[in-house]
A and B are shown apart, each in its own frame.
Chain A
Amino acid sequence: MTWHAAVGSVGRVTPIEAPLVRVLADDGSYAPTADAERYLPLIDALTDAELEQFYRDMVVIRAIDTQATNLQRQGQLALWPPSRGQEAAQVGSARAARAHDTLFPSYREHVVTRIRGVDPLDIIKVMRGTSHGGWNPTDPANGNTRIYTLVLGSQTLHAAGYAMGLAFDGRTGTGDVEHDEAVVAYYGDGASSQGDVHEAMVFAASYDAPVLFFLQNNHWAISVPVETQSKVPLVGRGAGYGIPSVRVDGNDVLASYAVSRTLLDEARSGLGPRAIEAVTYRMGAHTTSDDPTKYRGSDEEQRWAQRDPIARMRAFLEGRGAAAALFEDVDAEAADAAEDLRSRAVTLTSPERSLIFDHVYSDPHPLMAEQKAWLNHYEASFEGSAS
């Protein structure tokens, strides 16, 4: 099935056809495309518990994402970039990554980060202004998840370099998938125009670096449509670097999972980098500061609402006979997670002023010591003078 045939009736059409891997139709029925055939054994091997977990991930994180948007609206956060609509692409790739893999997110990967163990509160810290990084990627609890990068595409070079290091150190490509490491670099259709993404693909290909470039094409870079970034499907770019690339329906969690798993295992086996274009849709605004009514129509949003990744997976599970209790349980967990996030978010306090100075350098630095001492002295001069 081609990209035209897949979405031509419901949405905006990319001008040149590209094969698409899709397993679940919009209505949740099991209807693999021809290009999905090679991935079906991986999907057939998924247990009921795993399928339910995919659904649970999507629902719980959407509730967290919605809660974060609400917190911003209530003045508790400076900003929130919603992940709404991109849950299937993110759950599929994050669940496909193995525990020893390292993931480099951009800044909308709230689904990926939570699955890997990052506390959503750590992202709240970034958006509330109490921390730049939010979490420590070297803490095992965070599942080798690097921190967010706000300059678009910069992290793809870090991912490529990290993967080069894995190759140089022999931590990949031995043939043992349980130990061979790989890297996922997340970015979007807007970032795909950045020179750093191009350079990352050049370096990764030249050094056979085990990195999966995972592009979420959510169709909009704030207000600029994907057609301005590329006249051809973005999946086509990989071929120019010698990077095997696959286009997947990013609103189909099963397709996202199976293709990510396959390509990541290819990359870790020493075959070099791989790339995925996950075709999805940013259902919400770019961030809470954005107003999509200025640049896109509600008809388009409604068409994509019919392709909601959560509704699709729910219909699939219902078709397999999942009990109503499952969905009630997931909804309850989602509500609890959202409430838990709210209660903790509103209590986050400002960091100590020493944070300005303490970690600018790893080694001692005279200017930091001097200016920190001056600020402390200055602040102390006001103590006791308050009326």
Chain B
Amino acid sequence: MTIESMPMSRALNAGLRRAMEDDPRVLLMGEDIGRLGGVFRITEHLQRDFGDRRVLDTPLAESGIVGTAIGLAMAGFRPVCEIQFDGFVFPAFDQITSQLAKLTSRHEGALSMPVVIRIPYGGHIGAVEHHQESPEAYFAHTPGLRVVAPSTPNDAYWMIQEAIRSNDPVIFLEPKSRYWQKGEVELEASALPLHASRIVRRGSDVTLVGHGAMVTTLLQAAALAEAEGTSCEVVDVRSLSPVDYGPILDSVRSTGRMVYAQEAPAHTSVGSEIAATVMERAFYALEAPVLRVSAFDAPFPPAKLEGTYLPDADRILEAVDRSLAY
């Protein structure tokens, strides 16, 4: 087994490269992804190695990127679009939600839409407005889309390839604050299915659930709790639509308590949906209501306040304490 230690940024680059090698119909498109390699360098050297007809430096227009990706998919390509920052996806919202998400249904199955939209998302990078948002609920709420978020370099490497192999549109959310943390990538292993959730730490008192960058924060919280004598199990949701409830419910049935943590505002969020479903399906196993730890229901503040706006390990532990107090 070949194992390499690399940051998520390089794992994504390697995953994209492998997907392009495996299938000549895979094509990358986005702003500054070619010569520059993307503002986060995720696509570095791919245009050099695959040419400017497989790695397109597109005009600066997000709706144009997704809309022409749809046309390219109709012509038999498998486009992978990069949206430069989370807050820039909204000019493409109509093409994503009214067109991309509905075209297979509108064609009654006669047309597949194998389009991946990569979005670096989330905070903790100290950036200006529109560069740190968590828009996952908009897309998870849209029938016809699949939405996933890796939390580790290994998942990033495998999930981007799985997303590209999907015959449905996939919103691929990359936790940009985790781009530079290294992790082990098993280059030859078989991948966990794209839409599987996974228990990443065993524990017995409280189940902590989250996605993307928050998984690391949950693990920090679990370590701190351990020192105080509370055993937390941690579940990485990985797929926000559809959600694989099996491991989540198994864990909750064993601990009786659950806390969901996310960078997005709580109101009508992915965490809210998962909390509601857990309460519907595991009601008698619960010793306490499912609690959510989220950003506040306010716009992302100026970066100097992001540490207050976004949940951290302490806020998660505060919820753990509240859960245990029931």
Q: Which residues of B contact A358 (CB under 8 A)?
A: 108-109
Q: Contacts A154-B99, A200-B64 hold; do A161 and B107 have CB atoms under 8 A apart?
A: no
Which residue of chain B has its CB nearest to the CB of A151? B98
Determine which of B63, B72, B91, B166 lies in contact with A165 in the assembled complex, contact meaning CB atoms within 8 Å. Answer: B72
Of the candidate stretches B12-20, B39-47, B53-61, B264-272, the one touching chain A is B53-61
Is there an interface contact between B94 and A154, defined as CB atoms closer than 8 Å?
yes
Determine which of A139, A161, A169, A359 lies in contact with B71 in the assembled complex, contact meaning CB atoms within 8 Å. Answer: A161
Name which of A137, A199, A200, A202 has the most chain B CB atoms within 10 A of its CB: A199
Is there an interface contact between B67 and A359, defined as CB atoms closer than 8 Å?
no
Interface residue B299 (Cβ < 8 Å from any Cβ of A): no
Q: Which residues of A contact B113 (CB under 8 A)?
A: 362
Q: Contacts A360-B104, A362-B104 hold; do A136 and B69 have CB atoms under 8 A apart?
A: no
Is there an interface contact between A157 and B242, defined as CB atoms closer than 8 Å?
no
Chain B nearest CB from A47 CB (Å) reads 34
Is there an interface contact between B75 and A166, defined as CB atoms closer than 8 Å?
yes
Alpha-carbon separation in the docked complex, A160 to B74 (Å): 11
Is there an interface contact between A367 and B71, defined as CB atoms closer than 8 Å?
no
Chain B nearest CB from A311 CB (Å) reads 37
Determine which of B70, B104, B168 lies in contact with A158 in the assembled complex, contact meaning CB atoms within 8 Å. Answer: B70
What is the interface size of chain A, counting residues whose CB is below 8 A from a CB of the partner? 42
Is there an interface contact between A161 and B112, defined as CB atoms closer than 8 Å?
no
Q: Which residues of A contact B167 (CB under 8 A)?
A: 361-363
Determine which of B69, B91, B144 lies in contact with A361 in the assembled complex, contact meaning CB atoms within 8 Å. Answer: B144
Q: Which residues of B contact A137 (CB under 8 A)?
A: 107, 110-111
Alpha-carbon separation in the docked complex, A277 to B143 (Å): 37
Q: Which residues of B contact A367 (CB under 8 A)?
A: 242
Chain A nearest CB from B105 CB (Å) reads 5
Is there an interface contact between A158 and B98, defined as CB atoms closer than 8 Å?
no
Q: Which residues of B contact A156 (CB under 8 A)?
A: 67
The size class of the interface chain B forms with chain A is 35 or more
Name which of A138, A164, A358 has the most chain B CB atoms within 10 A of its CB: A164
Interface residue A304 (Cβ < 8 Å from any Cβ of B): no
A137-161 residues with Cβ-Cβ distance < 8 A to B are: 137-139, 146-147, 149, 151, 154, 156-161
Q: Contacts A165-B77, A362-B112 hold; do A160 and B144 have CB atoms under 8 A apart?
A: no
Is there an interface contact between A362 and B75, defined as CB atoms closer than 8 Å?
no
Q: Which residues of B contact A149 (CB under 8 A)?
A: 99
Chain A nearest CB from B155 CB (Å) reads 19
Interface residue B5 (Cβ < 8 Å from any Cβ of A): no
Q: Contacts A158-B70, A203-B68 hold; do A360 and B144 have CB atoms under 8 A apart?
A: yes
Name which of B64, B112, B166, B167 has the most chain A CB atoms within 10 A of its CB: B64
Is there an interface contact between B104 and A361, defined as CB atoms closer than 8 Å?
yes
Interface residue A196 (Cβ < 8 Å from any Cβ of B): yes
Q: Which residues of A contact B126 (CB under 8 A)?
A: none
- Give the 6 A-B CB pairs with smallest separation, nearest first: A161-B71, A157-B67, A165-B75, A161-B68, A199-B64, A359-B109
Q: A166-B75, A206-B59 are in contact. List 6 more A-B contacts (CB 8 A).
A: A132-B102, A138-B110, A154-B94, A156-B67, A159-B71, A362-B167
